[in-house]
Structure 1
């Protein structure tokens, strides 16, 4: 049988206090009473109610004072405020402080009963979600993230602590480690869940279009601007915006971004007026942000503004013990996606997964599992034959490329020549897969494309 929800009633007028207690207890709630905010706070500490119904104007400590103390103490109970006629402004102040709802005096019993029922349902839902999250974390799962290892559990703990807030977070890690999954999990565990989650890869946007993509533009703001267009901030209104590969954003755009973060206002390109924005901003980079600041590609003031909290995603090679759990989760997802029923992996495949260096990290594992699920027999196991040719080859030793020679550089070659040779040989090794080559080289796809354009120009002009 369900335990009745505990409701504390705080009211200085005795007849109103007794009347509310009798009314609410008659609806099946357990009730306690207090005559002012100080006594009410003491009852909260001693009795731990789920809901507090409090008057606003009381001696010693009023309702706003009680609500403030409860908020500062981190209590997550629902507070329902009673307001006298003409005190709507105070009720609004109470809502800003975190009150669940308010009701005017004289109290409408039907409305109060509805508010109490809604608050109880919300508290029950939050409790269920908290229990579910705790159970999932104990089983090595948080959102779309999987891992029992110490490093991943540390990431989970940090995500759970900061997800409910609106602070900016800087997420770092090598390409493919799951930085966007961290951002999505932060969004899904916040009260912004259900609102837009917008992810923007700054490396994939041409510099000439960057400001328009981020901030939007008015019709006629520049050549080709045929109509008004909302930017990423507007698309993410009341939700979360992830700026991926932040270090690839032009310095001038970074300055404008900093102003939006500080003032919570933006102006579309070509607009005369500013508009308010309510967006939680997360940023991600596969570079060391302090190195980027030192190199001048990331503004130091923007770095400090975004780096309120820092989450670092470890490379897969540093938490190999999580690979079996990750594989099981990916296998279930890929079976559902492709309508397959692959049962699992052979022992030889599991051994190869543990030996592999994983330069592409979790993204590489995901792509590998999708390929294997498609090739493996329905109801059977993934075998070595279903893995790419040469998978598991150690990357620490020279790899024969093209004509059978390993990558070598003549003494006296310039850094530019060595860089060009490494890029072209890596492209040969990946079968001209630029995304894979960029991951192996540890650069963004945009940087790789720029280098290839530079080499093409040099070749056409006779430079190489």
Structure 2
């Protein structure tokens, strides 16, 4: 599929090279030398993706990202950063970037990066799901069976479990696999814009509709439409969605022409949908229309056999993007990963692997290379095992105790140097700002002046 792309880069030679490369691939490409001009283009044109540098004068890439996500939350943004500046890349992902690219990069890297956003592009081998746990194997067997039909599928599971991975697997195993797979996150798009994104609109249908735009239903014609986090849709729009699903027809906002649809629907939710129906927050008729074939995606802590294979794949993926050799997980690191309850599921595991790669100092990853996210208090009673993060390590004095203490100091100093504020440094370390202040005071009492180390 031809994509409409915007390239934002202040270096004219590099911008020209990227634009020429993308145009040779058949894409329609706009370009801007800075964030201010980029915003003007975003507001006036219908784009499929923005590819922007981070370090630019005036409005930098992070500010541009923030503005785009506020005004056009559905528009994918990929940020480019200099080789070795991993901290900027991680910060971009935390602020909502869809992906990042390290400069300099090869043509193949750019192709691979755009592939997930191009609905007609072939799927890479490493997108095949990890299903080592018995429960996962059984789930994907069911998914493979329902993929052979056109039945509507409702996938439920906690946030971060990988429900979209399962939805894509169903599409890939179906007869529709050569047609588009279109996903829309109902929770990420403002209520007043979601209807226009789903059903499309004609020019002048509302303020800001400068051009006609096909909706997600039209874009998914012949393929699969994923309605992600569908429970976040308001009741009024649920009624309109129900009519489209029943009639298999859609009409653009401001339009008069009724379009017939041939689309397979997959919906996901992180809530107990039956309870939501009972509370009057979700239409019962839509619930039955969607739950023709329900699938339950278990949390990561209940499929422990998937943890290490997933960790290995994520490590390899991020090491490749950071242009580093893939480190080896040591036994104590594996035990730490297996013991953690992963309240954030695969998304949390992905973040943990990125942090470990940033902190690594050699070809191996040990347990103390992993900074694990604390389990939120409201989740602790529902999770049987929890692993504390950067808590006091009770060890005897000696070589091991000194090594652990030195490692903690190193992590704290690095976070304080690389993050713009104490709060963000604490977030990166997985602790509260108050805990960070306490640790720095305790280290100062022990003769370790962290403040002085920041200046050196």
Bin for the TM-score computed over the shorter chain: 0.5 to 0.7
Cα gap change, 1:154 to 1:390, in 2 (>3 Å): closer
For residues 211 and 241 of structure 1, the distance between their equivalents in structure 2, rounded to whole angstroms, comes to 15
Cα gap change, 1:390 to 1:182, in 2 (>3 Å): closer
Q: Secondary structure at the match of 1:270?
A: coil
For residues 128 and 287 of structure 2, the distance between their equivalents in structure 1, rounded to whole angstroms, comes to 27
For residues 165 and 191 of structure 1, the distance between their equivalents in structure 2, rounded to whole angstroms, comes to 9
Cα gap change, 1:159 to 1:338, in 2 (>3 Å): same
Which residue does the alignment assign to 2:166?
182
> Do the aligned partners of 2:161 and 2:297 also contact (CA within 8 Å) in 1?
yes
Cα gap change, 1:324 to 1:166, in 2 (>3 Å): same
For residues 372 and 363 of structure 1, the distance between their equivalents in structure 2, rounded to whole angstroms, comes to 14
Correspondence 1:21-170 to 2 at 5 A: 144-170=128-154
Which residue does the alignment assign to 1:387?
370
For residues 430 and 244 of structure 1, the distance between their equivalents in structure 2, rounded to whole angstroms, comes to 32
Gaps (5+ residues) in structure 1? 1-140, 402-427, 438-464
CA shift, 1:273, in A, is: 2.0
CA RMSD of aligned residues (A): 3.1
Q: Secondary structure at the match of 2:281?
A: coil
Match of 1:202 among 177, 180, 186: 186
Q: Deviations over 1:318-337 (max 9, x none)?
A: 11122122222222322333
Q: Deviations over 1:400-435 (max 9, x none)?
A: 99xxxxxxxxxxxxxxxxxxxxxxxxxx899679xx
Gaps (5+ residues) in structure 2? 1-124, 390-422, 433-456
Structure label with greater radius of gyration:
1
Match of 2:208 among 224, 240, 247: 224
Which residue does the alignment assign to 1:423?
none
For residues 267 and 399 of structure 1, the distance between their equivalents in structure 2, rounded to whole angstroms, comes to 52
Correspondence 1:232-311 to 2 at 5 A: 232-311=216-295
Q: Deviations over 1:117-139 (max 9, x none)?
A: xxxxxxxxxxxxxxxxxxxxxxx
> Do the aligned partners of 1:164 and 1:191 also contact (CA within 8 Å) in 2?
yes
For residues 148 and 219 of structure 1, the distance between their equivalents in structure 2, rounded to whole angstroms, comes to 50
CA shift, 1:254, in A, is: 1.1
CA shift, 1:308, in A, is: 0.9
**Greater Cα offset, 170-179 or 352-361:** 352-361
For residues 312 and 239 of structure 2, the distance between their equivalents in structure 1, rounded to whole angstroms, comes to 44
Which residue does the alignment assign to 1:460?
none
For residues 253 and 425 of structure 2, the distance between their equivalents in structure 1, rounded to whole angstroms, comes to 41
> Do the aligned partners of 1:353 and 1:392 also contact (CA within 8 Å) in 2?
no
Q: Number of residue pairs matched?
A: 268
Q: Deviations over 1:294-339 (max 9, x none)?
A: 1222111111111111111000111112212222222232233322
Q: Deviation above 6 Å: which 4+ runs of structure 1? A: 389-395, 397-401
CA shift, 1:197, in A, is: 1.2
Q: Secondary structure at the match of 1:203?
A: coil
Cα gap change, 1:279 to 1:310, in 2 (>3 Å): same
For residues 317 and 152 of structure 1, the distance between their equivalents in structure 2, rounded to whole angstroms, comes to 12
Which residue does the alignment assign to 1:353?
337
Q: Secondary structure at the match of 1:242?
A: strand
Match of 1:313 among 264, 288, 297: 297
Q: Secondary structure at the match of 2:201?
A: coil
CA shift, 1:184, in A, is: 0.7
CA shift, 1:224, in A, is: 2.4
For residues 429 and 288 of structure 1, the distance between their equivalents in structure 2, rounded to whole angstroms, comes to 33
> Do the aligned partners of 2:171 and 2:181 also contact (CA within 8 Å) in 1?
yes
For residues 370 and 331 of structure 2, the distance between their equivalents in structure 1, rounded to whole angstroms, comes to 13
CA shift, 1:393, in A, is: 10
> Do the aligned partners of 1:167 and 1:280 also contact (CA within 8 Å) in 2?
yes
Provide the TM-score with structure 1 as the length reference. 0.53
For residues 281 and 349 of structure 1, the distance between their equivalents in structure 2, rounded to whole angstroms, comes to 40
CA shift, 1:143, in A, is: 5.4
For residues 299 and 323 of structure 2, the distance between their equivalents in structure 1, rounded to whole angstroms, comes to 30
